């Protein structure tokens, strides 16, 4: 026996897919790290596999919202499929993307940009573990990796390239 429901058919929901890069920033980032947010793999119909919408296919509307840490919109607008932001980094930044299709369906996704606290050891009696050296910083002497760098991008999160030393050092203002 087949039973028919009453009322209007439900709208076919779209999908809302967020690709964020990076997904973590250093504690107290101070709006230094640009976070690229991409919702263009969302689709007008729900899909198990993220893929860009077909050319000429049904269009989506995008609405980005943020809670948690303070943020600055660096590129794009809150209704664009792609944008970039920076954050204070004093707490996690929660990013929500809501998509709507022409049939009235709606979907949301949430991504959290987490906070990284670097493991920075103070120099003990002027000695550091192998592969690290003692460097004087405003907060005192710290053990930092011996790896050479030319640009900030050469360094791990929470570190910046000190071009005078030619190595990665903790960003100023870290706890």
Q: Could you tell me the residue ranges of all domains in the chain? A: 19-116, 119-175
- Mean pLDDT of the residues in the chain: 82
> 19-116, what's its fold?
Immunoglobulin-like (2.60.40)
The string of pLDDT tens digits covering residues 66-90 is 999 999 999 999 999 999 999 999 9
Ordered mean pLDDT values, 10 residues apiece, the chain (175 residues): 55 89 90 94 74 64 96 97 95 96 92 84 73 72 80 81 82 57
The token pair at 117 is: 């606290």
SS3 assignment, position 102:
coil
CA torsion, points 164, 115, 174, 154, in degrees to nearest 10?
Answer: -10
Using the 8-state DSSP alphabet, how is residue 52 labeled? Answer: P
Q: What pLDDT is attached to residue 175? A: 45
Q: What is this structure's pTM?
A: 0.72
């Amino acid at each position: 026996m087949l039973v028919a429901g009453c009322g209007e058919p439900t709208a076919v929901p779209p999908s809302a897919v967020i690709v964020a890069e990076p997904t973590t920033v250093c504690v107290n980032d101070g709006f230094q790290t640009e976070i690229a947010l991409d919702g263009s793999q969302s689709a007008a119909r729900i899909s198990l596999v993220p893929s860009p919408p077909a050319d000429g296919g049904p269009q989506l509307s995008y609405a980005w919202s943020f809670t948690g840490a303070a943020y600055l919109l660096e590129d794009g607008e809150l209704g664009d499929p792609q944008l970039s932001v920076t954050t204070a980094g004093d707490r996690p930044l929660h990013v929500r993307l809501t998509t709507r299709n022409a049939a009235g369906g709606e979907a949301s996704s949430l991504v959290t940009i987490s906070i990284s606290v670097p493991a920075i050891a103070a120099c003990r009696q002027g000695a550091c573990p192998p592969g690290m050296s003692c460097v004087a910083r405003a907060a005192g002497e710290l053990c930092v990796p011996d790896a050479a760098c030319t640009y900030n991008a050469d360094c791990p999160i929470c570190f910046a390239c000190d071009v005078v030393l030619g190595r990665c050092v903790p960003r100023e203002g870290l706890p």
